[in-house]
Amino acid sequence: MSAYLTLIRPPNTIMIGLGVVIGEAIGLGKLPGLPEAVFGFLTASLMMAGTMVANDVYDVEIDKVNSPQRPLPSGTVRTRDAVVLAVALSVAAIGFSALLGLWTFLTALLALALMVYYNTRGKKTGLIGNAVVSFNVALPFFYGGLAVNSIGPLLFIFSVVAFLANFAREVAKGIADVKGDNLRQVRTLAVVRGTKVAALTSTGLFIIAVLLSFLPPFLETISWLYFPPVIIADVGFLYSAYRLVGDQTPENVRAVKRQVLLWMLLGLVGFLLGGAAIL
């Protein structure tokens, strides 16, 4: 069970599911109904879990170099079983999306198609692949709005901030994986231009995301509760960027990756408190 949990990466899958629920709450201005919340959460979280498992299947040779302790390269989980799990999770996600309506169903199909492209071809393209993954990370906000038939400016700006923050994280991930990526000709920015350039690019993206996080109050009236978690997250992003520029060793980059997930979670909390009148 521990190995399978490692494959689906629960922190990532839970956060992506919460992104949909937060999008629904922002769109409605209150907490969504139970069916919309549950089906929306399960669509995003199960699809993320399925694509995470599929990514490990396609990356098994790279992970033998970069992360040999992971379930597939270590042999803890058989590749055939991982393929079955990825397909089952993805089919379940599409099923839940259909329960919410036609547009959510089509959007889920688009997200799945993009992740299949990333896993099969897009990853080797470097920045294009990073952008595809980041688009899918930002998509849940719009998906939540679609689920409740309400999309406004706040959902757009929150999506852009999420896209930039995750784009920065994806670029940084390439720094830790240079050795394995070189072997498989994965053209990450760190491979093509060097780890220092990748670190500086990641830092620039973090800074832009931080600056844009102050834009929502100028678009719509939002609760002051938006600011405490978002400001903490912004300081965290800047701190992680500082660490990244100063040290590009794989150990430090992986630590920064874990930190950034925490800052992203805090940002989600701020988005919810600021955009939904639920208190």
pLDDT in tens, 28-44: 888 899 999 999 999 99
Q: Containing domain of residue 172, as a range? A: 2-275
Residue 278 has pLDDT above 50, yes or no: no
**CATH assignment of the domain containing 238:** 1.10.357.140
List, for residues 111-158, the tens digit of each pLDDT value. 999 988 988 888 888 899 999 999 998 999 999 999 998 887 888 888
pTM summary value: 0.84
Instruction: Give Cβ neighbours of residue 21 (< 8 Å, ≥ 6 apart).
Output: 32, 37, 40, 41, 144
Q: What pLDDT shows up at residue 96?
A: 97
Three-state secondary structure of 48-112: HHHHHHHHHHHCHHHHHHHCCCCHHHHCCCCHHHHHHHHHHHHHHHHHHHHHHCHHHHHHHHHHH
List, for residues 153-195, the tens digit of each pLDDT value. 888 888 999 999 999 999 998 888 887 777 777 788 888 899 9
Residue 279 has pLDDT above 60, yes or no: no
Q: What pLDDT shows up at residue 276?
A: 62
Residue 275 has pLDDT above 80, yes or no: no
Q: Nearest CA to 173 among 84, 107, 94, 254?
A: 254
Tally of domains in the chain: 1
Residue type present at position 62: I
First to last CA, the chain: 38
Residue 46 has pLDDT above 50, yes or no: yes
List, for residues 47-101, the tens digit of each pLDDT value. 999 998 988 888 777 667 667 778 888 878 888 888 999 999 999 999 999 999 9
Three-state secondary structure of 112-162: HHHHHHHHHCHHHHCHHHHHHHHHHHHHHHHHHHHHCCCCCHHHHHHHHHH
Q: What pLDDT shows up at residue 45?
A: 95
List, for residues 238-258, the tens digit of each pLDDT value. 999 999 999 999 889 999 988
